Every structure is written in structure tokens, then in C-alpha cells.
Amino acid sequence: MRERADRHLIKMEWIEQVIQHPEHTSVQSDGRFRFWSRIEEANGKFLRVILLADKETVHNAFFDRSFRRPA
């Protein structure tokens, strides 16, 4: 995941921060978990981290430009 040019700047500490302190979470229909949190060091962008159903294995992480905090 981190080898992609658009994601090589994502720090592991940010991924861990999102997992440990998410601002929003949801469960996908396939059992994967989505976590979002704002990363101030990345100009306040929201980082989305997707974990497998075991809630330990990181499947994907990216800055989610379309995320809007639910009302």
C-alpha cells in the first residue's frame, strides 16, 4: 500500500493514531472496518484506514478527500 506514489507520505504513526483514536467508524458489508481521523500534520486531511475483519491487519490507508463528518 505504501509503495504507491500517492500514499508514500502516509506515516505509520498516523495509521496507528487513526486506529487508536478514530473520529468516525463504520463496518463494511464484507466485515472490514473503516476508521477516519483528521491528521493535523497533513494540513487537516482525513485519513481513512481500513482493517480486515480481524481488526488488526491494515488493508488500506489513504487520505479521503470526500469524507464529511456525519451530522
End-to-end CA distance of the chain: 31
Domain total for the chain? 1
Residues 15, 35: Cα–Cα separation, whole Å: 9
Query: Residue 5: inside a domain, yes or no?
Result: no
Query: Residue 7: inside a domain, yes or no?
Result: no
Query: Residue 36: inside a domain, yes or no?
Result: yes
| Arithmetic mean of pLDDT, 19-30 | 96
Mean pLDDT of the chain: 89
Structure confidence at residue 1 (pLDDT):
53
Structure confidence at residue 9 (pLDDT):
84
Query: Residue 68: inside a domain, yes or no?
Result: no
Q: What Å distances lie between residue 26 and 22, 36, 47, 50, CA to CA?
A: 10, 9, 14, 10
pLDDT one-digit tens code per residue, 43-64: 999 999 999 999 999 999 999 9
Structure confidence at residue 39 (pLDDT):
96
Whole-number percent of the chain with pLDDT over 70 = 87
Query: Residue 25: inside a domain, yes or no?
Result: yes
- Specify the pTM: 0.86
